[in-house]
Amino acid sequence: MSAPLLKDLIDVAFMQRLGNACHQLQPTFDSTRFVSTVVDDNYHALELKARIQRVATILFQQLALPFVKSCEILKPLSSQFGGIQGFVFPEVVAQFGLDQPDIALPALGHFTQFSTSEFAIRPFISRYPELTLPQLALWAQSDNHHLRRLASEGSRPRLPWGQALPQFKKDPTPLLPILEQLKQDPSDYVRRSVANHLNDISKDRPELMLELCQRWFGQHPDTDWIVKHALRGLLRQRHPVALQLFGYQPLAVQAQLQLPARVKMGERLEFSVLLSQATTGSGKTRVEYAIDFASKAGKPRHKVFQWLERVVNEPELTLQRSYLFKDLTTRKHYAGEHRLYIIVNGQIVTSQSFLLENVG
């Protein structure tokens, strides 16, 4: 049985609850009309983002109040709807409050405490950086971990599904004081956001991000975790400075790789490798495997997978692994020649090709 789709959380039952709750606070609000207007003939074909946008648009239109009055009603309402359903409230602000940042920013700060305003705040960062960045800095010092996370997550240069912030992809330095404030945050929820923010920076300004990570590393266990998670992209790219920071030195390794010449779609590719160190023991060792996947366009797609990280004291190490050739929402497989690589401390030590075949 497949998992329910996220978009199905924005369903008729949710809208009925939302409409009834609005009516309790604003008796002129017609909950039946609200639901029937939102759920038109095209509604069920809409994906999650489009559903949230539509609900927010019609909610504001049918409240038929000035933006400031709408916020006064929606603030107490928002505590009843968390998670994905709570996205509707900051979306109202993003759509209808952009010309009133003095009202909109406090509203976003309120709504994020029950869901998240990370997407809705981005138009304000883009249009009003001189207003929004000081507000983010204040939120970074808040006692509320949802507000502290918003300070980092909302300003990420490359937030997935969020509006782009090209000015901070080019120059993220105005955001660094916020990350400095949060680098030893007691909340894992916040620290993970800081790590993801730094990982975003690494894609456009890797040297700037590496310089910061070198300053941070070794100060505190929580900060060390942030640095390690933030550098995951550069580690996969075998960046020498990132590898050196964590003590992964080049090793003289011999590798014997075993894998079948062919595998069928839907089956597992079973493979093993014997790693032999020229000297006794290999010390701190990071092992990854990578696959060049055949693609529809013909150009191989290279994907790196984490395998092992530990101190190895024995002169030989045998590792076994498998990869399932089953399509995912984020990865589709195509028949054809593939290549498997074994990577030790950032060095490709062996590789071998194999053929992925269609069934039948």
The stretches of 187-333 forming alpha helices (DSSP H) are 188-204, 206-216, 221-230, 232-236, 240-245
Report the Cα–Cα distance between both ends of the chain, in Å, rounded: 26
Q: What is the pLDDT of residue 326?
A: 95
In the chain, % of residues over pLDDT 70: 98
Q: What's the pLDDT score for residue 340? A: 99
pLDDT tens readout for residues 193-226: 999 999 999 999 999 999 999 999 999 999 999 9
Choice among 28-32, 186-190, 309-313 with the minimum mean pLDDT:
309-313
Q: Helix 67-78 crosses helix 12-25 at what angle (to 10 degrees)?
A: 120
Q: How confident is the model at residue 132 (pLDDT cuts 50, 70, 90)?
A: very high
Instruction: Assess contact for 120 and 91: CB atoms under 8 A.
Output: yes
Mean pLDDT check: name the lowest of 195-199, 277-281, 297-301.
277-281
Spell out where 78-161 has E strands: none
Tell me which DSSP letter residue 43 carries.
G
**Residues 54, 10 contacting (CB under 8 angstroms):** no
pLDDT in tens, 36-47: 999 999 999 999
How far is 121 from 116, CA to CA, in rounded Å? 10
pLDDT in tens, 311-359: 988 889 999 999 999 999 889 999 999 999 999 999 999 999 999 999 9
Instruction: Give the mean pLDDT of the chain.
Output: 95
Annotation: CATH topology of 253-357: Immunoglobulin-like (2.60.40)
Per-residue pLDDT band for 279 (boundaries 50, 70, 90) equals low
Rounded Cα distance, 263 and 220, in Å = 46
pLDDT of 111 > 60? The answer is: yes
Is 282 a residue whose pLDDT tops 80? no
Kindly report which listed range (92-96, 127-131, 180-184, 312-316) carries the lowest average pLDDT score.
312-316
Among 290, 280, 278, residue whose Cα is nearest residue 251: 278
- β-partners of residue 340 are 291, 352
Domain extent listing, the chain: 6-245, 253-357
281 pLDDT band (50/70/90 cuts)?
Answer: low
Position 86 scores a pLDDT of: 98
Task: List strands edge to edge, sheet with 268-277.
Answer: 253-258, 268-277, 316-324
Among 154, 146, 213, CA closest to 185: 146
At residue 101 the predicted structure's pLDDT band, cuts being 50, 70 and 90, is very high
CATH placement of domain 6-245: 1.25.40.290
Q: What is the pLDDT of residue 44?
A: 92
CA angle 296–297–299, rounded 5-degree value? 110
Q: What is the pTM of this model?
A: 0.89
| pLDDT value at residue 133 | 98
pLDDT, one tens digit per residue, over 151-188 is 999 999 999 999 999 999 999 999 999 999 999 999 99
The CA distance from 353 to 45, in Å, is: 42
